[in-house]
Amino acid sequence: MLASQNNSNDEMLTNDGIPLKKKLAKSLFKSRLRAFGLVTPLLLLISLGFVFPILVFLTRGVYNDTFEKYMINLTPMLAEWDGKTEPTEEMFEALVLDLVALKKSKNIGKVASRMNRELSGSRSLFTSSARKAKKLEFPFKESLIQVKKKWGNLDTWRAMKVTSHSLTPVFLASALDMKYTADGTIVQKPEERRIHVRLFVRTLEISLIVVIAGLILGYPVAFLLASLPIRISNLLLILVLLPFWTSLLVRTTAWIAMLQGQGVLNDMFVVFGIATDEDRFTLIYNKAGTLISMTHILLPFMILPIYSVMKTISPSYVRAAKSMGATSWTAFWRIYFPQTIPGIGAGAILVFILAISFYITPALIGGQDGTMISNFIDYHMRKSLNWSLAAAMGGVLLVIVLFLYWIYDRVVGIDNMKLG
């Protein structure tokens, strides 16, 4: 029997001589196809509407071809130029040619604002020079410098050289408060212009505090829910879920009413004599306000995974520990708590990832020191229109999250996570 199922290659065969693996794959193919068919609509939606646009947008963080695309004549010359010697007459000629072409095609604004981000003040340099470029004559070097003295400045040319690279670390460096120079080195920006790193650190700090506060507040609630009789615990669970039925915006504005100077909380403090009427607590438009409201808004995401894990822990574990001589605290700390870690891990990582990208609440409540990185990304998306920098900052944020996720996997283990 066994021998007939083994051919020379030690491959299992079915009774009619077809390799078993092939037959198995064939028999499973239909059900796999059906299963795949069921997820296809969602898969298409996610990949076309979510993953693909994100990937495309993220490339903007390291790729911007505005300069290369429009400065056709100058770009190859800048590539050969070493960035130290005086620019040659040919380079000036190519520049003038490009400026004339840009003026004609009305694309000068794009290049000017792209250049302006590299070297502030170069917008007017480009636009005004382009206006006069048509009338310029040989030698272009002298005539161009006559129009604008800045053309004789090496820094202007170095900035152009940096900008002429389409695939560039410029935006990534800028997202991390650094500057990519023409000679290929990356240096830190001056102290007063460093804002991004501080924002990243603050974002991480706020997220971490929200996770810890959520854990301290949520763990006992989850424990209560898990240990109460099912009828009462279901009622309380509805209270936990209640915020989900209200819009995030509404909850945030509710917190404004609660926290503001003349708000409910401060009024109460005054009534109870904790604060005087003239000297009320500043609970809003700062970090404290952001922390309070974010903790509240994200609390259900902490409670639910912990609760669902706790519900599966049989009370006989704690009883067993006590029967062996452990006090209530030892039984909790050594036996019960370790079994809830998968729930804590899931809740913590869920809350952390939601918190790190929180936008509406810090935008409304954050004020000066309570805004987060997402508010800055939004600023570059909608106000300054520096999409490349926004993409670079988003990319950095993504890398940070993935890195923390990796650390989490190393320390706790992703498969040790239970969402329910």
Partner 1 sequence: MGSNSFVRFQNVQKSYDGEVLVVKDLNLDIPKGEFLTMLGPSGSGKTTCLMMLAGFETATHGIISLNGNPINNIPPHKRGIGMVFQNYALFPHMTVSENLSFPLEVRGLTKTTREDKVQWALDMVQMSEFGNRRPAQLSGGQQQRIALARSLVFEPDLVLMDEPLGALDKQLREHMQYEIKHLHERLGVTVVYVTHDQSEALTMSDRVAVFNDGIIQQLATPPDLYERPKNAFVAQFIGENNKIFAEVIEIKNSIVSARTSRGNIIKGKKVNCGEIGSKTTLSIRPERINVGVKSENTSEAEILELIYIGDHIRCRMLVEGDQDFIVKVPNSSKVMNLKIGQKTKVSWLINDCRALDTLGE
Positions touching partner 1 (CB under 8 A) are 314, 316-317, 319-328, 330-331, 334-335, 338-339
List the one residue out of 210, 240, 207, 213 whose CA is nearest residue 307: 240
State which residue, 237 or 321, has the beta carbon closest to partner 1: 321
State which residue, 150 or 311, has the beta carbon closest to partner 1: 311
Cβ of residue 248: shortest distance to partner 1, in angstroms? Answer: 37
Cβ of residue 341: shortest distance to partner 1, in angstroms? Answer: 8
Cβ of residue 313: shortest distance to partner 1, in angstroms? Answer: 9
Q: How far apart are CA 111 and CA 133, in angstroms?
A: 15
State which residue, 37 or 338, has the beta carbon closest to partner 1: 338
Cβ of residue 165: shortest distance to partner 1, in angstroms? Answer: 54
64-to-70, 97, 195, 294, 310 alpha-carbon distances in Å: 12, 22, 23, 36, 51
Q: Using DSSP, state whether 260 is helix, strand or coil.
A: coil
Residues 22, 32, 420, 305: what is their CA dihedral angle, to the nearest 10 degrees?
Answer: 100
Cβ of residue 324: shortest distance to partner 1, in angstroms? Answer: 3
State which residue, 24 or 324, has the beta carbon closest to partner 1: 324
Q: How far apart are CA 345 and CA 347, in angstroms?
A: 6
Q: Using DSSP, state whether 180 is helix, strand or coil.
A: strand
Extract the tokens encoding 48.
């076309």
- Radius of gyration over every alpha carbon of the chain, rounded to an integer in angstroms: 31
92-to-84, 272, 410, 413 alpha-carbon distances in Å: 16, 75, 56, 60
Cβ of residue 220: shortest distance to partner 1, in angstroms? Answer: 21
State which residue, 337 or 403, has the beta carbon closest to partner 1: 337
135-to-43, 96, 99, 138, 313 alpha-carbon distances in Å: 57, 10, 11, 10, 84
What is the CB-side half-sphere exposure of residue 167 using CA atoms within 13 A? 0
State which residue, 23 or 322, has the beta carbon closest to partner 1: 322
State which residue, 96 or 335, has the beta carbon closest to partner 1: 335
Q: How far apart are CA 98 and CA 8, in angstroms?
A: 72
Whether the Cβ atoms of residue 88 and residue 82 lie closer than 8 Å to each other: no
State which residue, 20 or 320, has the beta carbon closest to partner 1: 320
State which residue, 27 or 314, has the beta carbon closest to partner 1: 314
Cβ of residue 305: shortest distance to partner 1, in angstroms? Answer: 17
Cβ of residue 66: shortest distance to partner 1, in angstroms? Answer: 57
State which residue, 208 or 326, has the beta carbon closest to partner 1: 326
Lookup result for tokens 């670390």:
169
First-to-last C-alpha distance (Å) of the chain = 47
Q: Using DSSP, state whether 186 is helix, strand or coil.
A: strand
Cβ of residue 303: shortest distance to partner 1, in angstroms? Answer: 22
Cβ of residue 203: shortest distance to partner 1, in angstroms? Answer: 33
Ramachandran region, residue 347 (left: φ > 0; alpha: ψ -120 to 50; beta: rest): alpha
